[in-house]
Amino acid sequence: MNTCFSPLGKAGLLGVSLLLGSCAKETAVPATAPTAAPTSSALVCGPRPESSDYQLYPLGDQLAPIGDVMPYFDSAANAFKVYYLKDIWNDATHQRHPWWGLSTSNFVSYAGLPVGEALSCSTQGCEQDYALGTGSITKKGSTYYAFYTGHNPNYPSACVSRKEGVMLATSRGLGQKFVKDPSFTTIYAPTGQGFDEQDNFRDPFVFRDDASNSYHMLVSARKNVNGTWRGIIARYTSPNLKSWTYAGILYDGGATNYFMLETPEVFKLGDTYYLLFSDIDTKHVYYRKGPSATGPWSLPTGPDRFEGNGIYAAKTAADNYDRYLFGWTNRLGGSTDGGNWQWGGNLVAHKLYQKANKDLAVTIPHTLKNHLEAQPEPLTKDSQWGNVTNSIPNTHSYTLSSPANQDVANVLFNPVAPVRYKLHATVSYSSANKDFGFFLGACDGYDDVYSLRFVPGQQRFSLDKTRRSALTTTTVATNDAPFPLAPNTEYNVDIVFENSMVVVYLNNEVALSSRIYRAAGTSWGIFVDNSTATFKNITVTKP
């Protein structure tokens, strides 16, 4: 591994303090090491090589990346069956994103479904389902209905006139393969109504609406609405799951023109309905609230997302007690932090719940939390720099204060050895003209680091892989989530690590799932920059 010696802070120029919560202009100034630094051990900033050993955030069959998911709770087995698009394309078996599945009853261990490949692609280049896209599973009587996207990449050609359509396969049990239904008429975008009739018609989600005693199907599409092309969610209805009637637009994005609102879903908690969808451009999962399964849909009271761009194509499923959100965290090319965004990755699951104001929030599944708190992992402090006070003796509890931008105070720790572990801390701040938070992959204590940072001036929590000397208020974060912040308020922080998967839970309300190759086996720490913050009871636990 690469090692870098530790200049543990930066002696910045003292500036005039700005008012708490103001969004100060962060100028990019050259970072220089302090003129003197305490002796420390070598910092480790070269990560362990990427591993295929994932248990908490699994990969798919034969370690293939997992694509868009279709979770279903199997009450007979008391387990979630998470069907997914297996990221293989034109392999030796001529498959293009076939359906496979995982099963879990505890979000700690996952097993592949014994059936193996649950739904296969056609081997015929002119068939609509020469490749598969995502869909959903619903049960009627003793039959499971799998509605799926037939996607033909050979469009346009002499024998393929439409790229996408909605198709059907059925099964008598979740332990069996889905058999395609040749009697089902493929559903294509309505003609003559302004739809993109040849493409962008996918991701069927089917559910039963007891209020109308009918089945509803949501489909992601594009349509010319009042002279403007925009992504929309189309709605169909059926009395029997076989014959479907177009019922208009369920949602057109409202004030925002989305290119595509992918993998839509409607579910109900209490007396409130929720519409969930993924924005193909930002990769964010958004939600809306409504009084019925057909809306009207309105923005939540708080932010309209509870995650960053590290969980995509997310869908939910509920057991007898709780509802859970499932999605995937993308990989980066070359398994390096500078690599390009890649489709598919590791499965991630959050517990989803309804707040008192009926907004949605997420937290760590309780079984996963208990699993990761089985035993403590010793922490070894490497060093500290700047105005640092041990606020609770005999614990890793510190108050850090920095009087100016780029004058970083920090406490650095040696790498954590286990592959899987959870970091916990209680964090608060009394002033924050810039930011504070956690360093990962620390080559030093002030600049060549990755920052998991609270930014009160912008009411958000973000991952920034940008060197801190280049951070400004206009820097586009690698990943971020809205997070309301107020001074003198304690926030519980849990960070789950498994190889390059890093999942942060903030106050049991907001999550941030990220791919950080540099996090595995490297030096890390806490910091403040032109802020004063307290980190109480920093602990690391493991299975």
pLDDT score for 37: 38
Give the pLDDT band (50/70/90) at residue 20.
very low
Give the pLDDT band (50/70/90) at residue 33.
very low
Question: Is residue 249 classed exposed, middle or buried when 0-12, 13-18 and 19+ CB atoms within 10 A define those classes?
Answer: middle
State the Cα–Cα distance between residues 241 and 137, nearest whole angstrom.
11
Q: Between 31 and 54, where is the model more confident?
A: 54
* Three-state secondary structure string covering 424-491: EEEEEEEEEEEEEEEEECCCCCCCCCEEEEEEHHHCEEEEECCCHHHCCCCCCCCEEEECCCCCCCCE
pLDDT score for 41: 61
pLDDT score for 322: 98
Average pLDDT, the chain: 92
Nearby residues of 21 by Cβ (< 8 Å), 6 or more positions away = 432, 456, 457, 487
Judged against a pLDDT cut of 80, whether residue 35 lies above it is answered with no
The phi-psi region of residue 357 (left if phi > 0; otherwise alpha if psi is between -120 and 50; otherwise beta) is: alpha
State the Cα–Cα distance between residues 480 and 286, nearest whole angstrom.
14
Reported as a single tens digit per residue, the pLDDT across 227-265 is: 999 999 999 999 999 999 999 999 999 999 999 999 999
pLDDT score for 93: 77
pLDDT score for 267: 98
Q: Is 154 helix (H, G, I), strand (E, B) or coil?
A: coil
Judged against a pLDDT cut of 70, whether residue 11 lies above it is answered with no
What global pTM score does this model have?
0.92
Give the pLDDT band (50/70/90) at residue 91.
confident
Reported as a single tens digit per residue, the pLDDT across 373-386 is: 999 999 999 999 99
State the Cα–Cα distance between residues 390 and 378, nearest whole angstrom.
18
| Tokens coding 158 | 């002499």
pLDDT score for 38: 42
pLDDT score for 14: 32
- Average pLDDT score over residue span 88-108: 91
Q: What are phi and psi of 108, to 5 degrees?
A: -110, -40
Contact 262, 284 (CB under 8 A): no
Reported as a single tens digit per residue, the pLDDT across 63-89 is: 999 999 999 999 999 999 999 999 998
Q: Taking the CA atoms of 249, 251, 253 and 259 in sequence, report the sign of the dihedral they define.
A: negative
- Average pLDDT score over residue span 498-506: 98
DSSP string, 356-415: TTS-EEEE--HHHHHHHTSEE----EEEEESEEEESSTTSS-EEEE--STT--EEEEEPP
Judged against a pLDDT cut of 70, whether residue 470 lies above it is answered with yes
pLDDT score for 211: 87
DSSP string, 68-96: EEEEEEETTTTEEEEEEEE--BS-TT--B
Judged against a pLDDT cut of 60, whether residue 39 lies above it is answered with no
pLDDT score for 17: 33
pLDDT score for 380: 96
Chain length of the chain: 543
Give the pLDDT band (50/70/90) at residue 42.
confident
Reported as a single tens digit per residue, the pLDDT across 285-297 is: 999 999 999 999 9
Work out the percent of the chain whose per-residue pLDDT is above 70: 92
Reported as a single tens digit per residue, the pLDDT across 148-179 is: 999 999 999 999 999 999 999 999 999 899 99
Other beta carbons less than 10 A from residue 45's beta carbon: 23
Contact 514, 530 (CB under 8 A): no
